Amino acid sequence: MSTLLEVRDLSVRFGQTTAVDGISFDLEKGASLGIVGESGSGKSVTCRALMRLLPPAAKISGSALYDGADLLQMPLPQLNQIRGKRIAMIFQSPASHLDPLMRIGDQVAETLRKHTQMRGQEIRDEVLRLLDVVRIPDPARWARAYPHQLSGGMKQRAMIAGALACQPDLLLADEPTTALDATVQKSVLDLLAQLRREQNLSMIFVSHDLGAVARVCDDLLVMRRSKLMESGPVSRVIDAPQHDYTRKLIASHPDRLTLRPVAEASTGAPLIEGQGLRIRYGGRSLADLIAGREGGFVAVQNADLAVRPGETVGIVGESGSGKSTLARSLVGLVKPQRGTVCFDGTPADPTGKGRVAYLREVQLIYQHPYEALSPRMTVARAIAEPLRRHRLCPPREVKDKVADLMEQVGIPTKLADRYPGQLSGGECQRVAIARALAFDPKVLIADEVTSALDVTLQAQVMDLLLKLQKDRGLTMIFISHDLGVIRRLCNSVIVMRQGQIVESGPTGAVFDNPREAYTRQLIDAIPHLHAGAA
Amino acid sequence: MFVIGVALVLIWGLIAAAAPLLATHDPYAIDFAAILKAPGAEHWFGTDNVGRDTYSRVVYGARLALYIGLLGVVAPLVIGMTIGLVAGYFGGWVDTVAMRLVDITVPFPFFVLVLSIVAVLGPGIENYFIALALVGWVGYARLARAEALVLRQSEFVLAARTMGFSHGYILLRHVLPNSLSPIVVYLMTDVTLVILFGAALGFLGMGVSPPAAEWGVMIAEGQTYISTAWWISFFPGLAMVLIGVGFALIGDGLARMLRIER
Amino acid sequence: MNTLRFIAFRLLQAIPVLLGVSIITFILMAATPGDPVRLLVGDRASPETIALVRDRYGLDDPILFQYFTYVKNLIVGDLGASLRYRVPVSQLIAQHYPVTLFLVIYTIVLTLPPVVFLAVWSAKRQNGPADQVIRMLGVLGLAVPVFWLALLFARFFGVTLGWFPVSGFGETVPDHFMHLFLPALSTAIWVVPILVRTLRSALLDEMNRDYVLTGHSKGLGERQIFRTHVFPNSVLPTLNLFAVIVAYLLGGSVIVETVYAVPGMGKLMVDSILARDYFVVQGATLVFALTTILVMLAVDLLSALIDPRVAP
């Protein structure tokens, strides 16, 4: 095998900050290299620097020899003969990387028009063939469609078709599956792995997800804070990591995570219960009235759930499954059209009169750490807000109570006067948890709390939640799209799809013996840390 | 640039405050001995057709301009923000009604509507203020509503709701402070426009009535003599440009600092 | 077929707006001080004449009926009569409207080339010296009083240099172009900076979109990306801007027409206000609003044709 790409001392600086610091690696022809790292590690910048796709403010140094020519030095017209033709690229969010006003077929054809002699009917035929290669059904129809008419997975396939159009030697994939649902993610990964084999495509695959990388790559680079930590064959790095950080990264993966034991589920009467919940969004418009339709959109259909004291129940589902809506109905953010919520055996109305008393017992923590805190409130004031507003403790004890809560969730006292913008994502999430704990609630609902966090932080937050549950005897409802996380954290699990509960039961039983095909599909899509799947 | 804007506005504030000290003549004193005098040592900006000193009139005009500009935006700001925030935050019929109101106001060119309201109410600054209150809130309402629509879905507002806080408290403590940036930027532009339109009314004879030392009125008075005594209209107009640029620069600077615009 | 249905739907949606607009002008009319009939027929009219006119405009009916009569009259084009000229308002408007239309279109023709040129230029060199200068011009444009500028232009180009006539509309079409040049220019100088600013930020938004990156990764040149991706996508926000321009220009025409004594809608309106000719004032206000509504409708339909995301 010969070397396709030889990168030496690649550095990227934006003004004072160094985004990539002296990275070197080789890529053999036909090989597939994964670059893994957490947000801000410089992995995407590395990938984009190779194609010089960075904003003008970026200063790139070093060399990237491709076929004997330096990609970083060659004049732009020459580089444009390589971009799209010899080296192609796909991106994280296909929705924004496609031109909304251009038909899919035309966007795929763009590279063909630029780099080949093909014209007219020849191009149209080739586009249909390419769409077929990436397994888009009925290519003739979708070629005429506009991006907004395609699903997320289809858009990414169309991007891939466009990238493959000129049969490039190298495909740069920048987090291509991150924005997709787990099952779609798996099918796109499978497609990439298959294309590698069939077309002898070399690939650089950038991802924060070690499991995804393990699925398509043979070699691995681990990056952290703009530096290269470790490199080597995937199997070697995963099984025998040499660097401390790599070890931590692997240990944080849900597959390898060592958590404190999940509390035993009690057998008592349910503490919080939802019966026959049906939630509809949007009203009935005039057109609906005339057509005799119900109108709006049913987000949750006839859902039952019961959570016993001290238990952790997981709700899983893909985007749009209604899992978050269900959670929100339990804290009164949406009013169910039908069905009842019971707390401690008595009917409760989270939207009505006794709402304040009810909410003292049931608190929800949100997904996006930065968004969940008002940007204009300091940490201490945010935590103190419920204490003061609801007089949960005498005014002169507020300060001590805040300090106590901060200590419980592990935020250093010196951060008390900082604003959310000055904190890291993990710290913000801890503040949000502390704020919820100010109520001393019995039930804590965690809505995708870990999905916006990097794996190592995710592991820390999960550990914190388990610790709090144990210390305080909390009952938890844990909502996530990530089955790997749910499996490690929950006593029982509820699987949702398109607003309906598909399956529920004790975690072990559901994962080992799923009754429904859909559940099996979800379980199969969990990225595992087995090396060399490709 | 932002600093220049602030400086300009401060200077105008000082000029308005210290007008009696800065003026060299009585702005209303008619002097038939000095009619249509060109700018010179005695009359820095010249005199008008009845011999009033243009410089002193421009200096006193700053008082009226700032008075109109700063007071004229208060009612639109308060009404518009209240309607916009409430409509955006609660949605439902409040929103529907407010937005239909906006829909039917938008087709009217702003100045035309102000004019026809003033036509009904009669000339004068008070009526201009009433017209502004009736029409000017629309811009603020649209901005505030757009912000509130986003904020009501934002997690920290949802979190405030799940903490059991009342809607009024959430609107005041969480939604309002976080929706201010674009509104403040718009406010600065609006002050400029309110001064301009106020002067335009004065110019057309429907605002402040003569012989007041109001810049629009002065420009109108100079119109007849524009080919012989250009200074009567020129200096008040220049003053308007300088005060307008001041507020516009502040708005522009804020827009950049708050990252509303690139 | 779908397009037709979409057009029909949009027209239907315009009806409530039209009704709302008519309510506003009706209120303005009803709030007018004094007895409009007295004003209309003069002090020495016989009681019979007064009764006849009161009946025609339904002035003795309850306020709601008065509104219905008003709308009924509007639909047949009866906007009342001018007190000053003793002719139907619709006739006056028919005389003055084309002049303003001419002025507005003339101004747009003068405005668009510099707007597109300056906006593209400053967007492509974001934060460069040219961009900064254009930005400062924008601030200046916002602050300059149009009537003052118009006055200075009249004095300089009209009187000192004698290049252009400074008042009236002229008789022939070439005359019109000469007479309206200064009015159009003064308005343009005021509008150009505002539009440049808006279009520039629309262009910058589009230039920073992810699909531009995709274009680069496909090896398309800078020019091709701008032509095939950025520009078409910038057209949509620009179209929406167009409706705003027209509203601005109509508002500006009121002032500029007065300064240059152009016999258009704006001057008609100002003169009528000063002469307390209320029916004309409200009629003109209504026509201004209707013009904007028509432009907004046209813009909506056009964007729907261009943008596949708006389902026709």
ipTM here: 0.85
- The answer to whether C164 and C178 have CB atoms below 8 angstroms apart is yes
Categorize the per-residue pLDDT at A294 as very low, low, confident or very high, splitting at 50, 70 and 90: low
- State residue C39's pLDDT score: 64
Instruction: Establish if A78 touches chain C: CB-CB under 8 angstroms.
Output: no
pLDDT higher than 50, residue B74: yes
Categorize the per-residue pLDDT at B77 as very low, low, confident or very high, splitting at 50, 70 and 90: very high
Question: Tokens 């389902």 appear where?
Answer: C311
| Residues of chain C contacting residue B222, judged by C-beta atoms under 8 Å apart | 151
- The answer to whether A171 and A31 have CB atoms below 8 angstroms apart is no
Count of domains for chain A: 2
- The answer to whether B142 and B124 have CB atoms below 8 angstroms apart is no
pLDDT higher than 90, residue C97: yes
| Sheet strands side by side (includes A338-343) | A297-307, A272-281, A338-343, A346-348
| Residues of chain C contacting residue B1, judged by C-beta atoms under 8 Å apart | 136
| Residues of chain A contacting residue C219, judged by C-beta atoms under 8 Å apart | 79-85, 111, 114-115
Instruction: Establish if A441 touches chain C: CB-CB under 8 angstroms.
Output: no
Q: Are residues A224 and A338 in the same domain?
A: no
Average pLDDT, chain B: 88
CATH superfamily of C95-275: MetI-like (1.10.3720.10)
- Give the end-to-end CA distance of chain A in Å, rounded to a whole number: 18
- For the beta carbon of residue A405, count every other beta carbon within 10 angstroms: 23
Categorize the per-residue pLDDT at B260 as very low, low, confident or very high, splitting at 50, 70 and 90: low
Q: How many residues belong to chain B?
A: 262
- State residue C38's pLDDT score: 66
Last residue of a domain, which of A252, A275, A296?
A252
- For the beta carbon of residue A431, count every other beta carbon within 10 angstroms: 27
Rg (CA), chain A: 26
Q: Are residues A355 and A215 in the same domain?
A: no
Crossing angle of helices A121-133/A152-164, nearest 10°?
120
Categorize the per-residue pLDDT at B44 as very low, low, confident or very high, splitting at 50, 70 and 90: confident
d(CA C262, CA C270): 12
Burial class of residue C173 in the structure, from the number of CB atoms within 10 Å of its CB (0-12 exposed, 13-18 middle, 19+ buried): exposed
Kindly give the pairing relationship between strand A312-316 and strand A492-497.
parallel
- State residue B81's pLDDT score: 95
> For testing the chain A interface, which of C127, C131, C214, C303 should be mutated: the one with the most A CBs within 10 Å?
C214
| In-domain check, residue A2 | no
Instruction: Establish if B161 touches chain A: CB-CB under 8 angstroms.
Output: yes
| In-domain check, residue A345 | yes
What lies within 8 Å, CB to CB, of A428 at 6+ separation is: A369, A370, A372, A373, A420
pLDDT higher than 60, residue A3: yes
Tell me the shortest Cα–Cα distance from B87 to chain A, in angstroms. 16
pLDDT higher than 80, residue A286: no
Would the pTM count as exceeding 0.95? no
pLDDT higher than 80, residue C233: yes
- Give the end-to-end CA distance of chain B in Å, rounded to a whole number: 15
Query: A495-509, A519-533, C211-225: lowest mean pLDDT where?
Result: A519-533
| In-domain check, residue A288 | no
Show the DSSP H helices in chain B as ranges.
2-17, 19-22, 54-72, 74-90, 92-105, 110-121, 125-135, 137-153, 155-162, 167-170, 176-204, 215-223, 231-257
Pick from C135, C144, C147: CB nearest B241: C144
- The answer to whether B206 and B118 have CB atoms below 8 angstroms apart is yes
Burial class of residue A394 in the structure, from the number of CB atoms within 10 Å of its CB (0-12 exposed, 13-18 middle, 19+ buried): exposed
Chain C contact partners (≥3 CB pairs within 8 A): A, B
| pLDDT, average across residues B219-244 | 88
Instruction: Establish if B158 touches chain A: CB-CB under 8 angstroms.
Output: yes
| pLDDT, average across residues A420-435 | 90
Q: Nearest chain C Cα to B227, which residue?
A: C155
d(CA A88, CA A160): 9
CATH number, domain of A224, equals: 3.40.50.300
Q: Are residues A100 and A235 in the same domain?
A: yes
| In-domain check, residue A510 | yes
| Residues of chain B contacting residue A366, judged by C-beta atoms under 8 Å apart | 155, 158-159
Q: Nearest chain B Cα to C249, which residue?
A: B109
| In-domain check, residue A14 | no
| Residues of chain A contacting residue B158, judged by C-beta atoms under 8 Å apart | 328, 333, 366
Kindly give the pairing relationship between strand A202-207 and strand A32-37.
parallel
Q: Are residues A235 and A376 in the same domain?
A: no
- State residue C35's pLDDT score: 64
pLDDT higher than 80, residue B104: yes
Tell me if C273 and B105 make a contact (CB, 8 A cut-off).
Answer: no
What is the distance of C-alpha C42 from the center of its chain? 34
Nearest to A332 by CA among B166, B148, C88, C241: B166
Rg (CA), chain B: 22
Q: How many residues belong to chain C?
A: 312
Nearest to A368 by CA among A432, A415, A314, A423: A432
Q: What is the DSSP string of C98-160?
A: HHHHHHHHHHHHHHHHHHHHHHHHHHHTTTSHHHHHHHHHHHHHHHS-HHHHHHHHIIIIIII
Chains A and B: how many Cβ contacts under 8 Å?
51
Tell me the shortest Cα–Cα distance from C223 to chain A, in angstroms. 12
pLDDT higher than 90, residue A434: yes
Q: Which of residues 204-233 of B touch C (CB under 8 A)?
A: 204-206, 216, 219, 222-223, 226-227, 230, 233
Kindly give the pairing relationship between strand A443-447 and strand A362-365.
parallel
- What does the pLDDT look like over A353-388, one tens digit per residue? 888 889 999 999 998 888 889 988 999 999 999 999
pLDDT higher than 50, residue B87: yes
- The answer to whether A158 and A166 have CB atoms below 8 angstroms apart is no
Tell me if B196 and C145 make a contact (CB, 8 A cut-off).
Answer: yes
Give bridge partners of residue C88 from the DSSP assignment.
C81
Question: Which helix or strand (DSSP H or E) is residue A10 part of?
Answer: strand A3-14
Q: Are residues A362 and A217 in the same domain?
A: no
Q: Are residues A129 and A203 in the same domain?
A: yes
Tell me if A367 and B163 make a contact (CB, 8 A cut-off).
Answer: no
Amino acid at A1: M
Rg (CA), chain C: 24
What lies within 8 Å, CB to CB, of C308 at 6+ separation is: A100, A101, A146, A148, A149
Tell me the shortest Cα–Cα distance from A246 to chain B, in angstroms. 33
Question: Tokens 């949007």 appear where?
Answer: A282
d(CA B111, CA B132): 10
Nearest to C96 by CA among C110, C117, C79: C79
- State residue A39's pLDDT score: 84
- The answer to whether A329 and A341 have CB atoms below 8 angstroms apart is yes
pLDDT higher than 90, residue A223: yes
Tell me if B163 and A439 make a contact (CB, 8 A cut-off).
Answer: yes
Burial class of residue B31 in the structure, from the number of CB atoms within 10 Å of its CB (0-12 exposed, 13-18 middle, 19+ buried): middle
Q: Are residues A127 and A205 in the same domain?
A: yes
Q: Are residues A432 and A500 in the same domain?
A: yes
d(CA B141, CA B135): 11
- What does the pLDDT look like over A134-181, one tens digit per residue? 888 889 999 999 998 888 888 999 999 999 888 899 999 999 888 788
Domains of chain B plus CATH, in order, are 1-28+41-241 (1.10.3720.10)
Q: How many residues belong to chain A?
A: 534
Q: Nearest chain B Cα to C144, which residue?
A: B241
Q: Are residues A433 and A520 in the same domain?
A: yes
Tell me the shortest Cα–Cα distance from B164 to chain A, in angstroms. 5
- Structural domain spans, chain C: 95-275
Tell me if C247 and B233 make a contact (CB, 8 A cut-off).
Answer: no
d(CA B46, CA B62): 18
pLDDT higher than 90, residue A501: yes
- State residue A98's pLDDT score: 93
Instruction: Show the domain range for A340.
Output: 307-524
- The answer to whether A252 and A459 have CB atoms below 8 angstroms apart is yes
| Residues of chain C contacting residue A99, judged by C-beta atoms under 8 Å apart | 211, 214, 229, 233
- State residue A221's pLDDT score: 93
What is the distance of C-alpha C291 from the center of its chain? 7
| pLDDT, average across residues A47-59 | 90
DSSP A493: E
Hey, is A516 helix, strand or coil?
Answer: coil
Tell me the shortest Cα–Cα distance from B180 to chain A, in angstroms. 12
Pick from B113, B233, B252: CB nearest C148: B233
- State residue A174's pLDDT score: 92
Question: Tokens 């799809």 appear where?
Answer: A497
d(CA A409, CA A434): 6
SS3 letters across A201-231? CEEEEEECCHHHHHHHCCEEEEEECCEEEEE
Give bridge partners of residue A58 from the DSSP assignment.
A14
Instruction: Establish if B168 touches chain C: CB-CB under 8 angstroms.
Output: no
Categorize the per-residue pLDDT at A348 as very low, low, confident or very high, splitting at 50, 70 and 90: confident
Higher pLDDT, C165 or A288: C165
- State residue C265's pLDDT score: 92
* ω into B211 cis (within 30 of 0): yes
Tell me if B158 and A368 make a contact (CB, 8 A cut-off).
Answer: no
Question: Tokens 């010089």 appear where?
Answer: A52
What is the distance of C-alpha C220 from the center of its chain? 40
Categorize the per-residue pLDDT at A263 as very low, low, confident or very high, splitting at 50, 70 and 90: low
Q: Are residues A245 and A327 in the same domain?
A: no
pLDDT higher than 80, residue C53: no
What lies within 8 Å, CB to CB, of B60 at 6+ separation is: B19, B23, B27, B213
- State residue A533's pLDDT score: 42
| Residues of chain C contacting residue B112, judged by C-beta atoms under 8 Å apart | 250-251, 254, 269, 284-285, 288
Categorize the per-residue pLDDT at A40 as very low, low, confident or very high, splitting at 50, 70 and 90: confident
- The answer to whether B223 and C158 have CB atoms below 8 angstroms apart is no
| pLDDT, average across residues C213-227 | 90
| Residues of chain B contacting residue A286, judged by C-beta atoms under 8 Å apart | none
pLDDT higher than 90, residue A345: no
Nearest to B179 by CA among A198, C34, A374: A374
What lies within 8 Å, CB to CB, of B72 at 6+ separation is: B128, B129, B132, B136, B191, B194, B195, B198
Show the DSSP H helices in A302-354 as ranges.
323-330
| pLDDT, average across residues C286-296 | 90
- State residue C47's pLDDT score: 77
Tell me if A333 and B164 make a contact (CB, 8 A cut-off).
Answer: no
Q: Are residues A402 and A520 in the same domain?
A: yes
| pLDDT, average across residues A349-356 | 84
